[in-house]
């Protein structure tokens, strides 16, 4: 079977996707390109200057040699006709009646500057001198360019990586806070020290100032006229004071902040706004539920006084449902406020699960794979298991099975399973599917109480149909009766 082809970028290591690596690669490429460009420019410039000076010197010596040759005088030691080692290009150029210079090697393979011109008989009059010093100077310059470029690139890369690391560290901190907020920790804040907490134009534009508060802050002056509404004299108006001093009464000195600080400030502002709205909703829910308790108590007492009959049964049923809803709302408000306190004790799971099943009054099969003792709050654990069993009977189909496997308790029915949104996002308040009865608060309370217990509650659908709720309880190395002893599996095990 042929493996699917991967994009070349998908074969790169994971760390190459980081912003620091990308910035380092970009800085390296740009520095290498800049260093190569500057190095080429310097090399060409210095080489042209050095070779130009050597060519001028060679042509001067060729002129002197030509003059001496034409006068029949003795030629200088570095001049001669058809000198050995003369490059063929210069020999051909001189044979054609032209003059030229060229950097080449002599017979000893040393860098040599040659100059040649025409002589009689189609021969070439040439001069030469040692060019080793110029060649070595150019080589030394090239080495210096390479080493200085490497040092400059390394230093720039270190500085750039350090700067990018500081930025990415702040971005990672902001991302961690965002993940904590998305997980429900609304108290999490970035608190970037570069964030300007003093200047927020949007907040200033949307803030409504109470005139009485401003009047108190100004010592009793009316905020619109600057006058003292109580008739106090001798105090200057705020507007006059501002004109005399030449300063605005609400002048703020803005602080410069970078883009990362702006993102952190926006995240903190969003979290504060979201927290305020959620707290307001929680207070509203708690206040409504609390205010409904007293009239519902009276309504319940009045319903008990009604004469027997079908209407009375309907009234009592609705009153009981409303009381249950009110108590659930109060419990959810306490869970949201995180004000619950645990009363921990070591409890055997199997007897506790059996009590929950008996209290539900519905036929539920209890299966024990392995007994366990856990340190937990018995009342809250019974609340969680009771809600799971009730939900299985209300929204699923029998048989409903409660399985105890050490610290893991599973409740399963054989109905249509949980809705997709519940499996992916968890239970949502007041949301039910398919016209099911209830208010969608049972699983929400079970999940909240499980979090208070430090347990993990997961929802899934069985492969052969049915909803599965898995409660994993925290457990120490051993309970009050010693280490766990495995039990034989139930003959009708899951």
What is the mean pLDDT, run by run of 10 residues, along the chain of 494 residues?
51 68 84 89 90 89 86 83 84 85 80 86 84 87 90 87 85 90 83 64 40 40 42 42 42 62 88 85 77 79 82 82 78 75 87 91 90 90 92 89 92 89 80 57 86 90 90 71 43 38
| CA–CA dist 362, 345 (Å, integer) | 28
| CA–CA dist 231, 228 (Å, integer) | 5
Nearest to 381 by CA among 445, 335, 324, 334: 445
> Parallel, antiparallel, or unpaired for β 364-370 and 400-405?
parallel
| Amino acid 444: pLDDT | 86
| Amino acid 389: pLDDT | 93
| CA–CA dist 447, 457 (Å, integer) | 6
Conformational region of residue 334, where left means phi above 0, alpha means psi within -120 to 50, and beta covers everything else: alpha
| CA–CA dist 66, 126 (Å, integer) | 9
Token digits for 324?
């249950």
| CA–CA dist 442, 407 (Å, integer) | 22
| Partners of 364 in the β-ladder | 400
| Amino acid 440: pLDDT | 64
| Amino acid 350: pLDDT | 92
- Please tell me the total number of residues recorded for the chain in this structure: 494
| Amino acid 66: pLDDT | 87
Burial class (CB in 10 A: 0-12, 13-18, 19+), 108: exposed
| CA–CA dist 397, 415 (Å, integer) | 5
Give the side-chain half-sphere CA count within 13 A for 250: 10
| 8 Å CB contact between 68 and 75 | yes
Measure Cα distances from 476 to 144, 206, 372, 482 in Å: 68, 53, 10, 11
- The pTM for the full model equals 0.52
| Amino acid 367: pLDDT | 92
| Amino acid 436: pLDDT | 54
| CA–CA dist 244, 224 (Å, integer) | 18
């Amino acid at each position: 079977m042929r493996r699917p082809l991967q994009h070349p970028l998908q074969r790169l290591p994971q760390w190459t996707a980081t912003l620091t690596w990308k910035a380092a690669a970009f800085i390296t490429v740009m520095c290498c390109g800049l260093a190569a460009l500057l190095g080429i420019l310097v090399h060409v410039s210095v080489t042209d200057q050095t070779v130009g000076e050597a060519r001028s010197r060679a042509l001067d010596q060729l002129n002197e040699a030509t003059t001496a040759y034409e006068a029949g005088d003795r030629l200088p030691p570095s001049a001669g006709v058809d000198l050995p080692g003369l490059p063929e290009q210069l020999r051909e150029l001189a044979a054609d009646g032209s003059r030229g210079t060229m950097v080449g090697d002599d017979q000893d393979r040393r860098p040599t500057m040659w100059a040649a011109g025409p002589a009689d008989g189609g021969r070439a009059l040439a001069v030469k001198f040692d060019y080793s010093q110029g060649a070595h100077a150019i080589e030394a310059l090239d080495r210096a360019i390479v080493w200085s470029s490497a040092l400059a690139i390394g230093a720039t890369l270190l500085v750039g990586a350090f700067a990018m690391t500081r930025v990415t560290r702040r971005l990672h901190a902001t991302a961690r806070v965002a993940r904590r907020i998305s997980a429900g920790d609304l108290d999490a804040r970035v608190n970037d020290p570069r964030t300007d907490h003093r200047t927020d134009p949007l907040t200033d534009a949307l803030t409504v100032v109470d005139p009485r508060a401003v009047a108190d802050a100004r010592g009793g002056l009316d905020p619109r006229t600057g006058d003292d509404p109580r008739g106090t004299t001798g105090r200057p108006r705020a507007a006059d004071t501002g004109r005399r001093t030449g300063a605005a009464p609400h002048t703020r000195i803005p602080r410069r902040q970078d883009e990362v600080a702006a993102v952190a400030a926006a995240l903190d502002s969003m979290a504060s706004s979201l927290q305020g709205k959620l707290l307001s909703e929680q207070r509203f829910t708690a206040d409504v539920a609390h205010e409904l308790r007293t009239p519902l108590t009276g309504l319940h007492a009045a319903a008990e006084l009604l004469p027997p009959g079908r209407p009375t049964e309907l009234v009592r049923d609705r009153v009981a449902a409303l009381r249950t809803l009110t108590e659930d709302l109060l419990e959810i408000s306490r869970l949201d406020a995180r004000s619950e306190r645990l009363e921990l004790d070591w409890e055997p799971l199997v007897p506790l699960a059996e009590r929950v099943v008996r209290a539900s009054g519905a036929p539920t099969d209890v299966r024990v794979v392995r007994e366990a003792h856990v340190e937990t709050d018995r009342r809250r654990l019974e609340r969680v298991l009771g809600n799971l069993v009730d939900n299985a009977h209300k929204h699923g189909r029998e048989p409903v099975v409660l399985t105890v496997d050490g610290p893991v308790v599973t409740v399963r029915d054989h109905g249509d399973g949980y809705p997709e949104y519940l499996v992916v996002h968890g239970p949502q308040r007041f949301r039910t599917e398919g016209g099911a009865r209830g208010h969608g608060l049972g699983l929400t309370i079970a999940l909240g109480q499980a979090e208070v217990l430090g347990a993990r509650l997961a929802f899934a659908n069985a492969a052969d149909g049915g909803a599965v709720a898995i409660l994993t309880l925290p457990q120490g190395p051993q309970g009050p009766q010693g280490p766990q002893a495995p039990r034989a599996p139930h003959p009708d095990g899951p």
